Amino acid sequence: MSYQRQFARTLRVGVVGVGSHAYRNVLPALHFLPVRLVALCDLDEALLERTALEYDVATNATYTDAGRMYAEAGLDAVLICAGPRQHPPLATAALRVGLHVWMEKPPAMRAAEVEVMIAERGDRVCAIGFKKAYMPATRKAKELIALPEFGALRSLLAVYPMTIPRDGAGVLERGDHSNWLANGCHPLSLLIALGGEVDEVTTLLGAGEEATGVVHLLFRSGASGVFHLAGGSPAGYAGERYHAYGEGRALTIENSTKVAFHRGIPFDYQTQREFTAPGTESGSVVWEANHNLATLENKALFVQGMYNELKDFCDAILDGRAVDPGTLEFGLQVMRVYEAGLLRQGRPVAIEETTSRGAG
């Protein structure tokens, strides 16, 4: 079943924060989920009332105080889409009155706040909407990486238009909501979804206060992850891509819409004369979104994982299981890597240093 009107079992949900992202993506996604939208909350009364009218939510089910909505609206679950400063207090208050909680990324400003939510979670489902970890392309990549023929994952590369503030410690001390938090958590969540737990982070920066460069992740498995900060990308350029390399196999995700599994060809350096090989057992296999039909699988809500993250949350509640992968523990990993990326700047070695050592 894919449409709200088809589901036999539904959850009563309320939404906190009906701003830009909620309006463009979260509320529309509800059409395809086993939910009934019964209450809305926002600090902006005009926005709240107009949104309630559009979604046929009764005026007496609109709230400017989330605590009141949690207490009065008879909810099973709340979807929170307010921002990382608001997510921890709004989520914690909901968990304390027994609601299941889904919140947008980023879950918080600091990793320690996620630990507080873990302590408050009890037996409730509490999920974070890391859409890139839920993309169909990411799910396919995970499946391919798990194939015996892929071998052990050796390295990952992410390319994403992004910079990092040079004064990382200051960002954390002041509580700045930098783009490294707002959008850096997207590729970080994908890298962690594919590579698993991270043990060590090193950042190497180019010039400037908002620097391009490289964030290196050393995964617990021993695999190496490189996040290329492609600041300066042309606006709107679909340059986001990911590569994963195993032992004799590789895969790529391009523009969220295309996954390729690279098997190579029988190859001999001295004698190879053609780049093709007979049959279909070699070369690359490509999966690409079909944009010719008005079906669901090519809509941004589905391609970018926003449907999957919310469906996983609903199913986890209805089936009495945990979400996968958008747990608070997963969010804690992302936030720790986010913080480490700000703090752990690698020691540059000046070229002169090598010369003088050699001479010495």
Residues in touch with ligand NAD (CB under 6 A): 16-22, 41-44, 47, 66, 81-84, 86, 90, 104-105, 131, 182
Number of neighbours of residue 209 by Cβ within 10 angstroms = 9
Compute the least distance from the CB of residue 339 to ligand NAD, in Å: 17
Q: With respect to ligand NAD, which residue has the nearer C-beta, 41 or 317? A: 41
Cα 73–chain centre separation:
30
Compute the least distance from the CB of residue 60 to ligand NAD, in Å: 17
Compute the least distance from the CB of residue 81 to ligand NAD, in Å: 5
The token duo for 22 is 């909620």
Check if the beta carbon of residue 106 is closer than 8 Å to that of residue 216. Answer: no
Distance CA 139, CA 304 (A): 11
The token duo for 333 is 């990993």
How many helices (DSSP H) and strands (DSSP E) are in the chain? Answer: 15, 16
Burial of 141 (0-12, 13-18, 19+ CB in 10 A): buried
Q: Give the residue carrying structure tokens 């507080």.
A: 116
Compute the least distance from the CB of residue 295 to ligand NAD, in Å: 22
Compute the least distance from the CB of residue 23 to ligand NAD, in Å: 7
Q: With respect to ligand NAD, which residue has the nearer C-beta, 19 or 346? A: 19
Compute the least distance from the CB of residue 117 to ligand NAD, in Å: 15
Distance CA 110, CA 164 (A): 16
Compute the least distance from the CB of residue 42 to ligand NAD, in Å: 4
Q: With respect to ligand NAD, which residue has the nearer C-beta, 47 or 157? A: 47
| Sign of the C-alpha dihedral computed for residues 158, 161, 167 and 173 taken in this order | negative
Q: With respect to ligand NAD, which residue has the nearer C-beta, 26 or 223? A: 26
Q: With respect to ligand NAD, which residue has the nearer C-beta, 89 or 346? A: 89
- Please calculate the CA angle 145-151-305 and round it to the nearest 5 degrees: 5
Compute the least distance from the CB of residue 338 to ligand NAD, in Å: 13
Q: With respect to ligand NAD, which residue has the nearer C-beta, 11 or 181? A: 181
User: Across the strands, what pairs with 253?
Assistant: 242, 259
Sheet holding 241-245, edge to edge: 198-205, 213-219, 224-229, 155-160, 241-245, 250-254, 258-262, 284-288
Task: Compute φ and ψ for 303, nearest 5 degrees.
Answer: -60, -40
Rounded (10°) angle between helices 111-120 and 87-96 = 10
Q: With respect to ligand NAD, which residue has the nearer C-beta, 24 or 321? A: 24
Q: With respect to ligand NAD, which residue has the nearer C-beta, 150 or 257? A: 257
Q: With respect to ligand NAD, which residue has the nearer C-beta, 277 or 300? A: 300
Using Cβ positions, the residue closest to ligand NAD within the complex turns out to be 19
Compute the least distance from the CB of residue 283 to ligand NAD, in Å: 34
Compute the least distance from the CB of residue 69 to ligand NAD, in Å: 9
Task: Compute φ and ψ for 140, nearest 5 degrees.
Answer: -65, -40
Helix, strand, coil shares of the chain, percent, nearest 5, are: 40, 20, 40
Q: With respect to ligand NAD, which residue has the nearer C-beta, 134 or 227? A: 134
Q: What does 198-229 look like in DSSP terms, one character per residue?
A: EEEEEEEE-SSSEE-EEEEEEETTS-EEEEEE
